[in-house]
Structure 1
Amino acid sequence: MTSPLELPGWRHVYSGKVRDLYVPDGAEDAASADRMLVVASDRVSAFDHVLSPGIPGKGVLLTTLSLWWFDRLAGADGGRSIPNHLAASHVLTLGMDGEPNTHDDLRSLIPDEVAGRAMVVKSLDMQPIECVVRGYLTGSGWAEYRENATVCGIPLPAGLNNGDRLPEPIYTPAFKAPMGEHDENITFERSIELVGAERATELRDLSLEIYGRAARTAEKRGLILADTKFEFGVDGEGVMTLADEVLTSDSSRYWDAAAWASGTTPEERMASFDKQIVRDWLSANWDKQGEPPALPDGIVERTAERYRELLERLASA
């Protein structure tokens, strides 16, 4: 992983697989900072590894898509406003050039080096649960279903196939593991033990609500939101707040609705607008032992094209 950038006015405090976190110069740490800078890199990860090379332009695409979804969920889709982590001065609209608009005072806080791929956000008490919602049977859920007719321990009807729509979306939380370790799928009951019944219920209900709204928005644009994951934190007033990225190609599976309806094989049905291209290539060319191989140019280019096409199909409609 490359070293984080040195940014004027900000101090680097943490790097995840694809994002870097900064606090203002002078802030002691993230907990005491009144705001933070979240920078999306072009790094791509799969199977708990950061891969090489990155996907050119990915950081801008993911940030732009997150801002677009934050706008929809703040009420632009006609639903109630879901609190999010963006600093109050963010304006969540896209300009004529497709770039996120921001007020001048906020734009001045984002260094030129990361323009277009950074968000100024509020500091939150992040919850230790990754909130996963699945509307379709695929991925690790399909593997478990073949073994036990369950997904994350939740019983499902017999006779489902890879890529099938579930009778209703299901909430399958995971415990967020420390950096370098695998997240652990947990039951809803275990999430209650971790954060308490009230917060666990709020996380579940918010996740299912957001998934439903996003799935309907995607459907109007000829897309299927197969599954996604959310992260939440609690702000200084105790409000549960949507954080990090939201409904991006990295955190979600998007499929082409027309291909899904007409396809006869899983590959035909699940025409993806996400990093499934990367996962599929790795599965065919790596035994998951040691360091993963470098991604071929063709895989990098196809992935970048699908990320761009997803943003165009969603945001231009």
Structure 2
Amino acid sequence: MSIAISSAEPYVMAPFVYKGKVRELYDLGEHYLIVVTDRISAFDYVLRPSVSDKGCLLNRLSCFWFEETASLQPNHLVHADVDRLGDIISNRTIMKDRVMVTRKAQPIKIECIVRGYITGGGWRQYQQTGQINGIPLPSGMRKNERFDRPIFTPSAKNDAGHDEDISLARMKELVGAELAIQLMEKSIQLYEYAHAYCEQRGIVLADTKFEFGLINGQIILIDELFTPDSSRFWAKENYTLDAQIESMDKEPVRTYLSGSGWDKNSEPDILPAHVVKETSRRYKEIYYRLTGQQYIR
């Protein structure tokens, strides 16, 4: 059964902790419960309507990657079985594939971004300064060109407003030099592993972001992992230099909004049905290409 949910609150009988653009967090005592809704955001706005199955696909992809990379880096996943939650869930059919029970970690307020290719915001920085987050780069690089080695370009998570691009030196000031270096090394290792995995499946992982936390001093990978909402995936057959490459994610939404005349400062209109349908199809396609499994609910 495909159904789009914009909020999990009617179906979860546990104390509510936090509502993000897509995810909701509930307190289970020893653990947290993360529920991934079908909400979709762009340009810092949550849009209407929600996209059927998007939350399930994102959650299943994160679980897939958490299990795939557990030997490289410990993470917060305990299980993702809705049937083990008992009366906490009032409708297991609707909530199936959307839930993740996790260990409680103290979040580190840094987005750990790794870029393997010069594109997006990194390309814009380079055009203006010849650098990305204070990292000097060779002159004459071309848009979408692959770096000789992935670069680490963190951002500070602000409580209000946009995240702030920062240098590694600034990150050391914020979290300490030792932790900053550890996070950089872990992030690059995870990116390189996933890049090689994706390459075998005809996908280019251009860049991605990670979030980490601490449990008793141990670094733990949290939030989501290598999903279309946290990563820039390109179909390998579409990879080219000096051009805009469509990402395998919510690109139809961004394209529609950019061409709709919307001022990006007011509540956007409801998305057309064909845009929502194409976005859902893209999430299913990347899920299939990454896992080798058709999404069936």
TM above 0.5, yes or no, is yes
Query: Is the aligned partner of 1:253 residue 2:232?
Result: yes
Hey, what does 2:17 align to over in structure 1? 13
Report if the CA contact (8 A) 2:82-2:99 is conserved: no
2:139 partner SS: coil
2:169 partner SS: helix
- Cα distance change on mapping 1:247 and 1:162 into 2, 3 Å: same
| Cα deviations by residue, 1:157-189 (Å, 9 ceiling, x for unpaired) | 2222222212221111111111x5111111111
Hey, what does 2:74 align to over in structure 1? 83
| Cα deviations by residue, 1:185-213 (Å, 9 ceiling, x for unpaired) | 11111111111111111111111110000
| Cα deviations by residue, 1:205-259 (Å, 9 ceiling, x for unpaired) | 1111100000000001000000110100001x32100001101010000001122
Hey, what does 1:223 align to over in structure 2? 203
**Counterpart AA for 1:240:** I
Residue 287 of structure 1, CA deviation: 2.9
Aligned positions of 1:276-295 closer than 5 A: 276-285=251-260, 286-295=262-271
Hey, what does 2:38 align to over in structure 1? 42
Q: TM-score by structure 1 length? A: 0.84
Percent of residue pairs identical: 43
Report if the CA contact (8 A) 2:6-2:50 is conserved: no
Q: Which whole-Å CA distance do the structure 1 matches of 2:139 and 2:268 have between them?
A: 36
Q: Which whole-Å CA distance do the structure 2 matches of 1:307 and 1:43 have between them?
A: 13
Query: Is the aligned partner of 1:305 residue 2:281?
Result: yes
Residue 9 of structure 1, CA deviation: 4.0
Hey, what does 1:28 align to over in structure 2? none
**Counterpart AA for 1:172:** T
Task: Tell which deviates more after alignment, 291-300 or 189-198.
Answer: 291-300
Query: Is the aligned partner of 1:120 residue 2:91?
Result: no
Query: Is the aligned partner of 1:144 residue 2:125?
Result: yes
Hey, what does 1:58 align to over in structure 2? 54
2:10 partner SS: coil
Q: Which whole-Å CA distance do the structure 2 matches of 1:8 and 1:256 have between them?
A: 37
Hey, what does 1:158 align to over in structure 2? 139
Query: Is the aligned partner of 1:74 residue 2:57?
Result: no
**Counterpart AA for 2:259:** A
Task: Tell which deviates more after alignment, 37-46 or 278-287.
Answer: 278-287
- Cα distance change on mapping 1:280 and 1:209 into 2, 3 Å: same
Hey, what does 1:266 align to over in structure 2? 243
Query: Is the aligned partner of 1:196 residue 2:168?
Result: no
**Counterpart AA for 1:233:** G
1:74 partner SS: coil
> 5+ residue gaps in structure 1?
25-32, 76-80, 91-99
**Counterpart AA for 1:16:** G
Report if the CA contact (8 A) 1:133-1:170 is conserved: yes
Hey, what does 1:78 align to over in structure 2? none
Report if the CA contact (8 A) 1:110-1:118 is conserved: no
**Counterpart AA for 1:52:** R
Hey, what does 1:30 align to over in structure 2? none
- Cα distance change on mapping 1:163 and 1:16 into 2, 3 Å: same
| Cα deviations by residue, 1:265-307 (Å, 9 ceiling, x for unpaired) | 624xx24211233223322333322223332222211111111
The number of residue pairs the alignment matches comes to: 285
Hey, what does 1:95 align to over in structure 2? none
Hey, what does 2:26 align to over in structure 1? 22
CA RMSD of aligned residues (A): 2.1
